[in-house]
C-alpha cells in the first residue's frame, strides 16, 4: 500500500480517525489493498499525515472490530484474509444478510419504496464493479457464439446493466457477454455478426433523429428491430459543490478546467463533438479532450477522485459517484436487434422484462431516466 493514498481534511467535521478508516474501507473494497496486504505502521502513517499516533491507532482498531483488519504482535497490521471454509462461509453469508436486512428495514421505515431500494442497490453495485476494474481492458472482441450466451456490443448504460442483472436472476444458466465498444462499434458488430444485439444512442446531425438513420446506413437491407430501452439525460458532470462554477460547454475552454472524454465512436462522443461544432469550440481549445474512457462510470469516478474537473455523461453516473451534474440533453437509448434474434425464444425473457412495470419502476427510481417509451419498437428493413 502507498501511504500517500490516504488523505485527511483537518477542516472537515468528520473526525480524523473516521476519515482514515473510511478511506481504508474504500481501498479494500476496490481491491487496491488486498487480503493479506500489510498496512503502514501506526508510527509511520501518523508521521506521514502529521497527526497523533493515537488517531491512526483508533482507525485501525475500528476496522479490527469490524473484522476487516487483523493485528499480530510483531507482525504489524494487515487486511484479514478471506477464509473460505464451509462454516466460515456460512457465517459470512449470515452476516451479509443481517447487514442488508438492517439497511432495508431502516430505509423502508424512512418511507422509501422497494423499487427505490432496488434502484439504489443496482446503481451502487455497478459503481463498485467499475471501481474494482483496475486493470486495463483487453481490446474489444466479441465472445464466441453459444446457445446460452447473449452477446451485447455497444454503448455503456446503467439501465442495460440493471436489465441484465434481472435477466440472469430469472433465467438459469444464461450467460451475457457485454463489450463497451461505443454505439458505432455496436452497429458494426451487428454488421459483422459478432453480436446478438447492440446498445446505441447516436444522434444524426442531418435529421436530428436518434439511431434509425445510422441503422439504415450501416445495416442496409437487413431487417432489424429497434427497441427503446429508455430516454436518458446527458449533461456535464463535475466535482461536488461545483468549485469551478461550470455551467455549460463554453466553460470547457476556460483556463484551468481539465476535461475527461469518452472514446471515439461512443454516442456521447458523437453528441459532444456535434455540440462543440455548433458552438465553434475545437478540441484544441479543451484541456484533456484526448483523455478517453469507455464508460460513464469511469468518467464520473475520474472526476470524483479529483483527477479531472468535468466530463459529459449521464445523470445516473453522477448520482452513483456523488458528484455534481447540470442537465443539458435528452437522448434516446435503443437496443438494435436483428429480426431473427428479436423473434427468438432466447431473447424472449429479456424483451418481457423490458416491457414489465418492475423494470420501468426500478429504472425511473435511479434518476436521469424516462421510461415512458420503454419497450416501444420500430422495424427497419
Of the pLDDT bands very low, low, confident and very high (cuts 50, 70, 90), residue 11 is confident
4: number of Cβ within 10 Å: 7
pLDDT at 355 over 90: yes
pLDDT at 88 over 80: no
Rounded to the nearest integer, the mean pLDDT of the chain is 88
- Please report the pLDDT score of residue 135 as a whole number: 43
Contacts of 162 (CB under 8 A, 6+ apart): 119, 122, 359, 362, 363, 366
* pTM exceeds 0.75 for this model: no
User: CA-to-CA distance for 369 and 231, rounded, in angstroms?
Assistant: 6
User: CA-to-CA distance for 117 and 103, rounded, in angstroms?
Assistant: 10
- Please report the pLDDT score of residue 139 as a whole number: 43
Taking only the tens place, the pLDDT of each residue in 14-62 is 999 999 998 898 888 777 788 888 899 999 999 999 999 999 999 999 8
User: CA-to-CA distance for 376 and 381, rounded, in angstroms?
Assistant: 17
- Distance from first CA to last CA of the chain, Å, rounded? 56
User: CA-to-CA distance for 94 and 225, rounded, in angstroms?
Assistant: 45
User: CA-to-CA distance for 303 and 312, rounded, in angstroms?
Assistant: 11
Buried b (16+ CB within 10 A) or exposed e, 24-45: beebbeeeebeeeeebbebeeb
For residue 81, the 8-state DSSP code is P
Q: Residue range 302-315: average pLDDT?
A: 94
User: CA-to-CA distance for 369 and 359, rounded, in angstroms?
Assistant: 12
pLDDT at 356 over 60: yes
DSSP β-bridge partners for residue 118: none
Q: Residue range 308-329: average pLDDT?
A: 94
Of the pLDDT bands very low, low, confident and very high (cuts 50, 70, 90), residue 87 is low
- Please report the pLDDT score of residue 113 as a whole number: 85
Which residue's entry shows cell 455549460?
Answer: 248
Give the H/E segment covering residue 196.
none
Taking only the tens place, the pLDDT of each residue in 249-268 is 999 999 999 999 999 989 99
Amino acid at each position: 500500500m502507498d501511504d500517500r493514498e490516504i488523505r485527511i481534511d483537518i477542516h472537515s467535521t468528520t473526525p480524523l480517525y473516521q476519515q482514515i478508516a473510511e478511506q481504508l474501507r474504500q481501498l479494500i473494497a476496490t481491491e487496491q489493498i488486498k487480503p493479506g496486504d500489510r498496512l503502514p505502521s501506526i508510527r509511520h502513517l501518523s508521521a506521514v499525515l502529521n497527526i497523533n499516533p493515537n488517531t491512526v491507532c483508533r482507525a485501525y482498531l475500528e476496522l479490527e472490530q469490524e473484522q476487516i483488519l487483523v493485528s499480530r504482535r510483531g507482525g504489524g497490521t494487515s487486511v484479514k484474509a478471506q477464509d473460505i471454509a464451509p462454516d466460515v462461509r456460512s457465517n459470512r453469508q449470515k452476516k451479509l444478510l443481517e447487514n442488508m436486512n438492517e439497511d432495508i428495514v431502516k430505509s423502508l421505515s424512512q418511507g422509501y419504496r422497494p423499487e427505490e431500494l432496488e434502484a439504489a442497490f443496482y446503481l451502487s453495485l455497478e459503481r463498485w464493479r467499475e471501481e474494482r476494474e483496475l486493470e486495463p481492458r483487453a481490446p474489444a472482441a466479441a465472445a464466441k457464439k453459444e446457445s446460452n450466451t447473449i452477446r451485447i456490443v455497444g454503448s455503456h448504460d446503467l439501465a442495460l446493466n440493471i436489465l441484465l442483472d434481472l435477466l440472469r436472476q430469472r433465467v438459469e444458466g444464461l450467460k451475457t457477454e457485454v463489450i463497451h465498444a461505443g454505439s458505432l462499434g455496436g452497429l458494426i458488430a451487428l454488421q459483422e455478426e459478432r453480436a446478438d444485439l447492440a446498445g446505441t444512442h447516436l444522434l444524426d446531425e442531418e435529421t436530428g433523429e436518434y439511431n434509425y438513420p445510422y441503422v439504415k446506413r450501416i445495416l442496409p437491407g437487413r431487417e432489424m428491430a429497434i427497441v427503446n430501452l429508455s430516454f436518458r439525460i446527458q449533461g456535464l458532470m463535475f466535482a461536488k459543490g461545483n468549485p469551478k462554477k461550470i455551467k455549460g460547454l463554453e466553460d470547457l475552454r476556460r483556463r484551468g478546467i481539465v476535461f475527461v472524454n469518452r472514446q471515439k465512436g461512443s454516442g456521447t462522443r458523437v453528441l459532444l463533438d456535434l455540440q462543440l461544432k455548433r458552438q465553434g469550440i475545437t478540441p484544441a481549445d479543451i484541456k484533456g479532450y484526448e483523455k478517453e474512457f469507455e464508460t460513464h462510470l469511469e468518467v464520473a469516478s475520474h472526476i470524483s477522485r479529483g483527477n479531472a474537473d468535468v466530463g459529459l455523461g449521464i445523470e445516473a453516473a453522477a448520482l452513483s459517484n456523488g458528484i455534481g451534474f447540470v442537465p443539458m440533453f435528452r437522448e434516446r437509448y435503443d437496443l438494435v436487434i436483428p429480426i431473427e434474434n428479436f423473434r427468438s425464444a432466447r431473447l424472449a425473457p429479456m424483451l418481457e422484462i423490458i416491457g414489465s412495470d418492475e423494470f420501468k419502476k426500478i429504472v425511473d427510481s435511479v434518476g436521469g431516466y424516462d421510461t415512458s417509451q420503454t419497450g416501444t419498437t420500430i422495424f427497419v428493413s
